Amino acid sequence: MTRVPLAALAAAFGAIIASAAPVAAERLVASLSNHRVMITSNFVGEELVLFGGIEQDAASRPRRADYDIIVTVTGPRQTMVTFRKERILGLWVNADSRVLENAPAYLAVLSNRPLDAVTNTETLRRLQLGLDNIPLLQRASVNIADAASDDPFRLAFIKIKTEQGLYREVSNGVTFLAPALFRASIQLPAEVPVGTYEVDVRLFADGVQIARTPAPFEVYKSGFEQVVTAAAREHGVLYGLATAMMAIATGWFASVVFRRD
Amino acid sequence: MQIYLPIADLPVNVFVILAMGLAVGFISGMFGIGGGFLMTPLLIFLGISPAVAVASVTGHIAASSMSGAISYWHRRAIDLALAFMLLAGGIIGTAFGVWLFTTLRAIGQLDITIGVSYILLLGIVGALMVAESVSAILRARQGKPVELRRPGSHTWIHGLPLKLRFKRSRIYVSAIPVWGIGFIIGFVGAVMGIGGGFLLVPMLIYVLRVPTATVIGTSMVLTLVTMASATVMHAAVNHLVDALLALFLMVGGVIGAQFGARAGQKMSGERLRLLLGLLVLAVGIRFAVNLVVPPETLYSVRVMDGDI
């Protein structure tokens, strides 16, 4: 039960440390190839490209080591349930479950080299970086708790999401084009839900976070897809009647077309 | 050709959906069943969420039944009075089914109930149909007359009061078993998310002794009404009907149903019942295997889209 405030405290503390360390005067700028991803009837997924540069002003000290970049893309939040099957009276049935409140529907962690090479495990955990360290609130029955990173339900959830292409950790997802210029490719599968996606770009040097910048984008439906979705949401009865009429008309039309006499 | 489905939120191949509609439509036209118990698992297999699949399939079944019902209407093979009486029982059954559905979901026992009832229902109905039709075919082979209707063999069902005459089907039975059958179909349909045609056809034949000539057309009228209203209810309550998905399924379905209805008319009643029995049995066994064989992955993830 005490894990949540502790984790929050740790995160807040981490943010304070990060912002209160202006000794390194690097500035991070990032821009996406597209800020509005449109879902149309021929949408089969999309690749977004994030370009970023590291600016050093006059106050910059000589660089100690190569820069590292970790980009975290977090999709809209959904409530999801993980079920586990067990054998009961010889039958395999969903016997146990965990509800995940507000878990990201999409999550991509991109970096230029493996996360544990960028910085130490403690920092990764504190900054909630990587699939092992993202906070996932699981509810068994009454008590909500951030699942331990080796919780079987949590591991199974991340595995399934990874197989669907919705969760990914790519250790070569960020490429440095020049020492202070990088690009990252964000793969969105066709199943991505609509909503706002947070993109969090963090700059590391010597295992320490020295700059951070957001670059959000939005996924939305347009045209026909949008009209249908809005009609189904807002005018459910009319939409249902229209679909039923369409069914009857289609059936009638077919019998006219195929009538032999 | 890939197309993005607006409510299911994923792209599908149009030709795959059309072909699935065609195949299931053929079967539904041939046997006078909705085919929901075949189509819903197929859609879930494609990756469409079960809730959207169940809701959208209702539209497809309504279209197939409409197309089939019209061609049976032209052949004067529909007993409207019987369909109406069945419907009266069906509405009450549906209400009870929805109540049980909600209760079971509240206590978390819905999945196992649906799984076990699929196996029991499909297994028993399929086995009975296969056994009956095989013995009928064997009897016909031995030169004995095929006893489709046994006018003398009255059971206790024919002793019940409230007798009604259904002219088109040429039967004279009590309204009580008719309402009862309607109730069972409505109840089972609501709990298991199926139209129930595969149950209705044998019940009409064996319990009410409805002649094969009118049984399929009558069953289609009942399926049409229940599924069209189910489409409206699903759209109004859950907002999960994907009209685009339903349209592609429908177009394939109505064409398939036309050919299926013609193929069905050419076949003898016993052979038709044997085929349907085998099909029902096969789906039942498939469900049983799913529940008995250790699954590849014990875990599954479901998105709760406001439906709880």
Q: How far is B255 from chain A (nearest CA, A)?
A: 6
For the stretch B88-125, pLDDT in tens is: 888 888 778 877 877 776 666 666 777 778 788 888 88
Report residue B273's pLDDT band, with 50, 70 and 90 as the boundaries: confident
DSSP-derived pairing of the beta strands A77-88 and A46-56: unpaired
For the stretch B135-155, pLDDT in tens is: 888 888 887 655 555 544 556
For the stretch B51-80, pLDDT in tens is: 788 788 888 888 888 888 887 888 888 888
CB A80 within 8 A of CB A101: no
φ/ψ of residue B31, rounded to 5: -105, -5
Alpha-carbon torsion, ordered B192, B196, B202, B203, to 10 deg: 80
Q: Which helix (H) or strand (E) holds A219?
A: strand A217-221
Which residues of B fall within a CB distance of 8 Å from A244?
A: 59, 62, 228-229, 231-232
Question: B36 vs A102, B122, B201, CA distance in Å?
Answer: 33, 13, 15
- Using CA coordinates, name the residue in chain A closest to B62: A247
pTM value > 0.95? no
φ/ψ of residue B50, rounded to 5: -55, -40
| ipTM greater than 0.85 | no
Tell whether domain A3-221 is in CATH 3.40.50.10320: no
Hey, what amino acid is at A259? R
Q: A161 and B301: CB-CB below 8 Å?
A: yes
Domain ranges of chain A: 3-221, 222-261
Tokens coding A90: 């010889």
For the stretch A180-195, pLDDT in tens is: 899 999 999 888 888 8
Alpha helices in B46-78 (DSSP H): 50-74
Report residue A2's pLDDT band, with 50, 70 and 90 as the boundaries: very low
The residue-averaged pLDDT of B167-171 equals 74
User: Within the 96-115 window of chain B, which residues sit less than 8 Å (CB to CB) from chain A?
Assistant: 111-112, 115
Q: How high is the mean pLDDT of chain B?
A: 80
Question: A200 vs A72, A194, A244, B63, B114, CA distance in Å?
Answer: 5, 19, 46, 49, 44
The residue-averaged pLDDT of B261-279 equals 82
CB A84 within 8 A of CB A97: yes
Quote the percentage of chain B above a pLDDT of 70.
Answer: 89
For chain B, the C-alpha Rg in angstroms (whole number) is 19
Which residues of A fall within a CB distance of 8 Å from B11?
A: 42-44, 190
Q: How far is B45 from chain A (nearest CA, A)?
A: 14
CB B78 within 8 A of CB B86: no
Alpha-carbon torsion, ordered B222, B228, B229, B230, to 10 deg: 100
